[in-house]
Chains A and B, each alone.
Chain A
């Protein structure tokens, strides 16, 4: 059974810092890995999708890497801003469109 773990559960940093969020999964038989952002009481916003054959993806200040063999992914956020405060979720796709989610990292950027 696939298990996805995100560390840390919560993170608070001052504005402007670069930071890394971690995600690990137990079964490497995945189709892809997706990072999402969720604001309180809202739906999920897709940030980055990495296919299983890829090693990384970049979008603006965000960079996500994937090491399928070790079951790890990282989300790097450069020059953090208060607007980046949210919960970040990673999810792996297994089977017919079934995403398995981690518990998320609650990120707070202090002005």
Chain B
């Protein structure tokens, strides 16, 4: 069974631009979560989607948004990029609530 996939793997953007990242969960998994990883703050929860509904959201500004499609694939969008948004963005999927979470390889975003 294929694992969690994320595209693109690397992105370089300029301040003020917007970016969309994509995540395809493991087949059959309906829960998708997003995390931001930086050297200073570590791993921080962004949001979680289940059956196209956002169930939980972390403490991030409104510039960070996401959605989930009927096939469970998810996208996250960051608008008006800032230098501090440079990070590794990780997506995770799970089969059921309180189940084991499986992470993708991440998207490395660099904002210049």
Q: Identify which of B31, B48, B58, B90 contacts A44 (C-beta below 8 A).
A: B90
> A83-100 interface mask toward B, CB cutoff 8 Å, 1 = contact, 0 = none?
000000101010111111
A54-111: which have CB < 8 Å to B? 89, 91, 93, 95-104
Instruction: Tell me if B56 counts as interface (CB < 8 A to partner A).
Output: yes
Task: Identify A99's interface contact among B4, B33, B55, B97, CB under 8 A.
Answer: B33
Q: Which residues of A contact B (CB under 8 A)?
A: 31-32, 34, 36, 41-46, 49, 51, 89, 91, 93, 95-104
Distance (whole angstroms) from the CB of A11 to the closest CB of chain B: 18
Nearest CB in chain B to that of A48: its residue: B100
**A96-B56 contact given A41-B108, A42-B106, A43-B106, CB 8 Å threshold:** yes
A96 in contact with B42 (CB, 8 Å): no
B98 on the interface (CB 8 Å rule)?
yes
